[in-house]
Structure 1
């Protein structure tokens, strides 16, 4: 039973730690500080238990394994809350349908002409909430399976259109 307790404490601690780091990177200072308070409480509450069982193989094994599980849990939670935005740069020959469908779905779309190996193409710059990233990719690929898509996560942006303004 003690090894289950060690595992649970470690998993919760590491998951909270992972989320705190993400919040710090995203600039959510107060949320990160609040979460840190809970994180350190869990850590200190379990520290004495964990240290008492570090002299056994199973204590060390449980501690190490639960650290990995806690990391996976933290990453899973972060992906579910999906803070922030994604930008997609799309190169396509299918301008009209893609423009109208993306705008109907509320994505910010800016486009311009480009020239490549196969002639003139449209280049789209699309801003989407991270929660909608997979939907945006799926939508683009349904309309143009041959579209070339590059995605990145902008750290900051100022002005212009941001998703949600149309709603």
Structure 2
């Protein structure tokens, strides 16, 4: 049985070694995705730490490639791990939802009812009057945690299914503006709905 795990055995050379390289690449590439995400969100201490372990894992995988240049399965494991690690990193980053985003809403409806509702929920809301191709519009800006953005978009769609909105990442926030950001969503908020009646017809 132990002969299967010997580095000269066929099982090790053509299965275990490529699999180790594949898994190592998944780890280091997904960590690299997280590192870049943390850098873009100004996480100065966590990102370098992740980068340290990421490079160690990469060196292990690359060393195995150099030592086994005649094994094509190692190449496949190396490339396949890179592709899979990119996908895994995106999934992890999406689940962690670290950082903040700005939601920009453009609606032809008067937005005072929506603004009042969001402010009552603890959100800091900025409203600007504008004019678009079809006439006057209200432009609303809200900075929220990424974990809350889906819930907030659902609230906007309840208010006005035809509202136009965009979402952008926020790299940093001034200390004077932190108090304007809602602390967290409660279970009551998740079950709540925007009042059905709007100020003006669409």
What's the TM-score, normalizing by structure 1?
0.87
Distance 1:76 1:166, change over 3 A: closer
Residue 6 (str. 1) matches residue 6 (str. 2)? no
CA offsets 1:53-110 (integer angstroms, 9 cap, x no match): 3422222112111101011111111111122211111112141331133224433211
- Where 1:29 maps in the other structure, the secondary structure is coil
Q: How many residues align?
A: 167
Contact map agreement 1:53 1:60 (CA 8 A) in 2:
no
- Where 1:111 maps in the other structure, the secondary structure is strand
Residue 124 (str. 1) matches residue 140 (str. 2)? yes
Residue of structure 2 equivalent to 1:74 = 89
For structure 2, the 5+ residue unaligned runs are 1-15, 187-202
CA offsets 1:108-162 (integer angstroms, 9 cap, x no match): 2111322334433221111111111111111111210011112222223322322
- Whole-angstrom distance in 1 between the partners of 2:38 and 2:142: 24
- Whole-angstrom distance in 1 between the partners of 2:121 and 2:93: 24
Residue of structure 2 equivalent to 1:20 = 35
For structure 1, the 5+ residue unaligned runs are none
Residue of structure 2 equivalent to 1:163 = 182
CA offsets 1:11-69 (integer angstroms, 9 cap, x no match): 10111111112222221111011112221222233333233334222221121111010
Residue 115 (str. 1) matches residue 131 (str. 2)? yes
Residue of structure 1 equivalent to 2:13 = none
Residue 154 (str. 1) matches residue 170 (str. 2)? yes
- Whole-angstrom distance in 1 between the partners of 2:140 and 2:112: 12
> Larger Rg: 1 or 2?
2
- Whole-angstrom distance in 2 between the partners of 1:133 and 1:52: 47
- Where 1:146 maps in the other structure, the secondary structure is coil
Deviation of 1:165 after TM superposition, in Å, equals: 8.9
Distance 1:3 1:116, change over 3 A: same
- Whole-angstrom distance in 2 between the partners of 1:20 and 1:166: 27
Residue of structure 2 equivalent to 1:90 = 105
What's the TM-score, normalizing by structure 2?
0.73
Contact map agreement 1:90 1:149 (CA 8 A) in 2:
yes
Distance 1:166 1:143, change over 3 A: closer
